[in-house]
């Protein structure tokens, strides 16, 4: 059983690090040791967990499903450890956290408020911005970020805390007037309400089974906004298609205000991370916050 658990932790590290070499560096192991541990795990499970090429390592469908279960199990273990340790230590002091505006308000803050109620001596200072901050220069203890990490994050500790499922959606009135796109290539013939600012427009990403990278769609949008909720509002008014996180539009879809399109196309999954400056010893108050986000955010995203 101990070997099984070791293999699982190495597997999860390989997924989160983005490859065997990066996982080996994080775990202070050789790359061959990581590869052999994954191979033993695949042999025990009777399935391949990774597509391996000379240039990249990608999860298979079985690997992705297994990762989700492993992550939930490891987060439960971490939460249990934090619970036991909290009985021996006082959770106190200030934690400064930067987070995206809407994701922070709707998904992160309710979890942090629960922590504040549980630990009266814990001080939380929360900053909401969709622009990236420099944790060290701006004096933040922790940042929550969505999507691929930029190069600056190489100097930070990153922990994956959730996965956001993206959906293309539109108002029923828009679909009645213009029809639905049948494939990704059809998106260019539709009106788009896109996320963007100062000449930048966010790229829509779609996974393709058996391919190493996502299919990209760069929308040529007449309407660009830097607020996701405003995009959802305009899409609900029939102004075009929008690519949005499911947690944001779930209520609108359930009420019929928006309808998903391209439902046969697998939705893109955007990773969410907690990042903090490299340190020899993570302060207990910060570890409690990260563990809470890792444990609770996947439930919000489900």
Tell me, yes or no, whether 64 lies in a domain: yes
Clarify whether residues 148 and 215 are in a common domain. no
pLDDT of the residue at 302: 74
Whether residues 172 and 261 share a domain: the answer is yes
Residue 224 in any domain: the answer is yes
| Count of domains forming the chain | 3
> Which tens digits make up the pLDDT trace of 250-302?
999 999 999 999 988 888 888 899 999 887 678 889 999 999 999 999 888 87
Distances (CA, A) of 299 to 74, 261, 275: 15, 24, 20
Instruction: Quote the domain boundaries for residue 169.
Output: 165-269
Q: What is the secondary structure of 213-272 as a DSSP string?
A: SPEEE----SEEES-HHHHHHHHHTTS-BEEEEHHHHHHHHHHTSSEE--TTSPPPEEEE
Beta strand pairing status for 156-170 and 142-146?
unpaired
How far apart CA 191 and CA 169 sit, in angstroms, is: 12
Q: What is the pLDDT of residue 3?
A: 54
Say if residue 183 is in the same domain as residue 158: no
Residue 174 forms part of a structural domain:
yes
Contact (CB, 8 A) for 42 and 34: no
Q: Does 85 fall in a domain?
A: no
Statement to judge: residues 279 and 263 lie in one domain: no
Q: Mean pLDDT across the chain, nearest whole number?
A: 86
Model confidence at 173, in pLDDT bands (50, 70, 90)?
A: very high
User: Within 13 Å, how many C-alpha atoms sit on residue 161's CB side?
Assistant: 29
Residue 245 to residue 226: CA distance in whole angstroms: 14
Q: Does residue 46 form part of some domain?
A: yes
Answer whether residue 82 is part of any domain. no
- Do 35 and 169 sit in the same domain of this protein? no
Task: List b or e across 54-63, with b for residues whose CB sees 16 or more CB atoms inside 10 angstroms.
Answer: eeebbbbeeb
Rounded to 5 degrees, φ, ψ at 76 are: -65, -40
Backbone angles phi, psi at 258, to 5 degrees: -125, 150
Range from 75-79, 184-188, 196-200, 278-282 that averages highest in pLDDT: 184-188
Query: Domain of 265: which CATH number?
Result: 3.40.190.290
CATH number at residue 51: 1.10.10.10
Domain boundary among 29, 53, 77: 77
Share of the chain above pLDDT 70, in %: 89
CA 145, chain centre distance (Å): 8
Residue 90: its H or E element: none
pLDDT number for residue 149: 79
């Amino acid at each position: 059983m101990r070997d099984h658990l070791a293999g699982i932790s190495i597997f999860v590290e390989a997924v989160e690090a983005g490859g065997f070499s990066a996982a080996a560096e994080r775990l202070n192991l050789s790359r061959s040791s990581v590869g052999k541990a994954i191979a033993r795990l695949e042999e025990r499970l009777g399935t391949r967990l990774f597509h391996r090429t000379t240039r990249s390592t990608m999860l298979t469908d079985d690997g992705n499903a297994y990762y989700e279960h492993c992550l939930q199990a490891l987060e439960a273990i971490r939460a249990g450890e934090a619970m036991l340790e909290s009985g021996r230590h006082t959770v106190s002091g200030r934690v400064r956290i930067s987070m995206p505006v809407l994701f922070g308000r709707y998904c992160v803050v309710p979890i942090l408020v629960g922590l504040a109620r549980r630990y009266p001596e814990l001080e939380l200072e929360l900053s909401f911005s969709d622009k990236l901050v420099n944790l060290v220069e701006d004096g933040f203890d922790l940042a929550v970020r969505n999507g691929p990490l930029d190069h600056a994050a190489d100097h930070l500790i990153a922990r994956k805390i959730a996965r956001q499922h993206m959906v293309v959606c539109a108002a029923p009135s828009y679909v009645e007037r213009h029809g639905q796109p049948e494939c990704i290539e059809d998106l260019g013939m539709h009106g788009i309400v896109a996320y963007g600012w100062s000449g930048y427009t966010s790229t829509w990403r779609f996974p393709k089974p058996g391919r190493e990278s996502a299919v990209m769609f760069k929308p040529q949008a007449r309407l660009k906004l830097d607020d996701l909720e405003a995009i959802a509002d305009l899409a609900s008014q029939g102004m075009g298609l929008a690519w949005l996180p499911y947690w944001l539009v779930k209520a609108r879809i359930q009420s019929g205000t928006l309808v998903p399109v391209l439902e046969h196309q697998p939705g893109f999954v955007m990773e969410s991370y907690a990042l903090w400056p490299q340190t020899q010893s993570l302060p207990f108050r910060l570890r409690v916050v990260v563990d809470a986000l890792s444990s609770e955010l996947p439930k919000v995203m489900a």
